[in-house]
Amino acid sequence: MSRFAYVNGTYARHEEASVHIEDRGFQFADGIYEVIYLYKGRLIDTEAHLDRMERSLREIHMDMPMSRRAMMPIIKELIRRNRLRTGLIYMQVTRGSSKRDFIFPEDTVPTLVITARRGAAFDPNKSLQGMKVMTMEDMRWARCDIKTTALLPASMCKQVALDAGYSDAWLVNKEGFVTEGTSNNAWIVNAEGKLQTRPPSHEILNGITRKSIIELAQKEGIEIVEKPFTVEEAYNAREAFVTSASACVKPVTQIDDKVIANGAVGLTCEKIAKIYADFLEKA
């Protein structure tokens, strides 16, 4: 079956879909993106993702390429054409194509690319296998709250971790606090047994999954401390895990050479995964 992608007004075969070589996304990473989880035919947290898209665009002085009312039928049509039930919807907006110049061009038509990819349905019984993460200096730029496509630093960090035998990196700022994973938000159950994740700021991407889990956990009476934690605190944590639209909830059982919770998946992580899986079923 052919895969289809949406590129600036047309549904093209995935292998033939393309943008211009002068596209500013290609030349300058001058663009932003969003990833929405499609779970059993339902788009998860669409409004929140589109809110963040609008915000990321505003921060780089761009408008939404079209209204949400116009965008939703395109996403749905792409899902239909790709016969997707569960997977990821990737959307990228760039400042468009124009003669290469560091100065933002005026009157360029933004590029909108949407792709859809089949994926597995989140199942806490299958997904909850711990991964190892390695801490490293967060050398990404200073505006990590913008979901920019300038992902080279994140990609470099993840590659270093993979080459060293880890699944991902937890990035650490100059003050020694963990910021987040290369493409996910970081959580611990701290030494006092409290669920902890750092508050949103320019140092992290404000995860939509993070936000949903905070709301869901609070409804269940689970207390959450939104406070930065150091690498040392992470080493001494009772549990650790990450969240994102593509991983949902993923346990971390080793940070550098420190094994967390004897290498087992913690009860809180299991509970959060279960709550999130229930939320996905009802979304």
Is there a catalytic annotation at residue 158? no
Query: Pattern of binders to ligand PMP over 185-204, x per CB under 6 A?
Result: x-------------------
The one catalytic residue in 76, 99, 132, 147 is: 147
* Site residues (CB under 6 A) for ligand PMP, limited to 201-240: 205, 207-210
Provide the pairing of β-strand 131-137 with 248-255. parallel
Looking at beta carbons only, is 97 or 209 nearer to ligand PMP? Answer: 209
Cβ 10 to ligand PMP, closest distance in Å? 26
Residue 157 near residue 169, CB atoms below 8 Å: yes
Number of residues that bind ligand PMP (CB under 6 A): 13
* Site residues (CB under 6 A) for ligand PMP, limited to 98-157: none
Does 245 interact with ligand PMP (rule: CB under 6 A)? yes
Residue in 94, 149, 173, 183 binding ligand PMP, rule: CB under 6 A: 183
**Buried b or exposed e, range 58-71, using 16+ CB within 10 angstroms:** eebebebbeeeeeb
- Which two tokens mark 60? 């780089």
Looking at beta carbons only, is 97 or 114 nearer to ligand PMP? Answer: 114
Residue in 56, 82, 92, 184 binding ligand PMP, rule: CB under 6 A: 184
Please report the beta strands in the chain, taking only residues with DSSP state E, as ranges in sequence order.
Answer: 4-7, 10-13, 31-39, 42-43, 87-94, 111-118, 131-137, 168-172, 178-181, 185-189, 195-197, 224-226, 239-244, 248-255, 258-259
Looking at beta carbons only, is 238 or 250 nearer to ligand PMP? Answer: 250
Pairwise CA distance, residues 138 & 202, whole Å? 13
Looking at beta carbons only, is 35 or 264 nearer to ligand PMP? Answer: 35
Looking at beta carbons only, is 71 or 169 nearer to ligand PMP? Answer: 169
- Which two tokens mark 24? 């500013």
Which of these, 262, 259, 187, 276, lies nearest to 228 by C-alpha position? 187
Cβ 99 to ligand PMP, closest distance in Å? 31
Q: DSSP alpha helices (H): ranges in the chain? A: 24-28, 46-59, 68-81, 124-127, 152-163, 208-219, 231-235, 267-282
Cβ 81 to ligand PMP, closest distance in Å? 24
Interface with ligand PMP (CB under 6 A): 35, 180, 183-185, 205, 207-210, 243-245
Q: Which of the residues are catalytic? A: 147
